[in-house]
Amino acid sequence: MKKKQISIIGVPMDFGQMRRGVDMGPSAIRYAGVVDRLENLHYEIDDLGDIEISRPEKLDKLSEGNLRNLKAVAEGNTKLAKKIDEAINADTFPLVFGGDHSIAIGTLAGVAKHYNNLGVIWYDAHGDLNTAESSPSGNIHGMPLAVSLGLGHPTLTEIAGYGPKVKPENIVIIGARSLDEGEKILIKELGIKVYTMHEIDRIGMTKVMEETISYLKDRTDGVHLSLDLDGLDPHDAPGVGTPVIGGISYRESHLAMEMLAEAGVITSAEFVEVNPILDERNKTASVAVALMGSLFGEKLL
C-alpha cells in the first residue's frame, strides 16, 4: 500500500438488488473487527461512518428503462463519489464497505478523476457488465462495471459530472463463473481481460495474479480493487445475495491479496455484498476482514 492512512466509508445500500439485508454489511464488517485488525498493521484509521442512504417509500419497482430503483441508487452513489473524492484529496486510502455492488458506480466515480489511467481488478463471480437492455432482472448491482465504462443510463454514467470512468483495456475480471449472454458479447467486443474459474483452476492463482499485476502495472497509474464476496465459493462466504458454487477458495483469495500487497499497486478498495441475514455467525464479514488484513500486508511471520 502506498499510504498509511485509511479512510473507511460504509455504504448501507441495498437498492441495487432485491434481497434485503446487504445494507447491514458495513456494520457486520466493523463488528468483525476490521479497525483493530488494520490498526495492528500500523495503519492510521479514520472511520468516516456510513453514507446516509435515504429509503424511498416504495422499492423493487422497475423505473424507466428496466432499471430497478434508479433514483435511489443514483443518489446514494453521488454521495459516495463526493466522500471518496474528499478522502483522496486528504491523501488517505479510501476503503469502502458495502452494501450491494451497485456502490462501485460511486466508488469509481470518486476515484477515477484522480488518475489518468485507472486500473480495476474486479474480483467477482459475475461480470457486472449488463445494461438495461441486456439485464434479465433490471438489478443495477449487475451493471456497475458497464456503467463505469460509460454504458447505460446517463443518470448513472454521468455521476460526478464525467464519464467514462475506466477504459476496457485497464480492467481485469477475476473469478467469473456466471456471465449473461450480453456480458459475454461485450467482453469479446471490448477485449476485457477475464480470468474465469477455468483459468484459475488450470494455471493457478499465483500465475493469474502475476499476469494481472504485470498487465496493470504497465498501463495504469493506480489500481482499484472491487471485491465482491460472492467471488469466493459459498462454502467460504455463504452470506451473499447471489452465491455461485465452484468459486475461489479462501486460501486462494488470501494468496491473491498477499500478492497485491507485495506488489504495492492497489490505491483504493471496496468489499461488497456481505449480507448478514444470509450468513452463518458473521462468517462472511470475518472472511472479508481477514482478506483486508492480507491486502494491507498482514503476514504469518
Q: Where in the sequence numbering do the catalytic residues fall?
A: 101, 124, 126, 128, 141, 228, 230, 273
List Cβ neighbours of 153 (8 Å cut-off, separation of 6 or more). Answer: 64, 65, 67, 70, 132, 147
* Cβ contact 130:182 at 8 Å: yes
CA dihedral angle for residue 209, residue 210, residue 212, residue 214, rounded to 10 degrees: 160
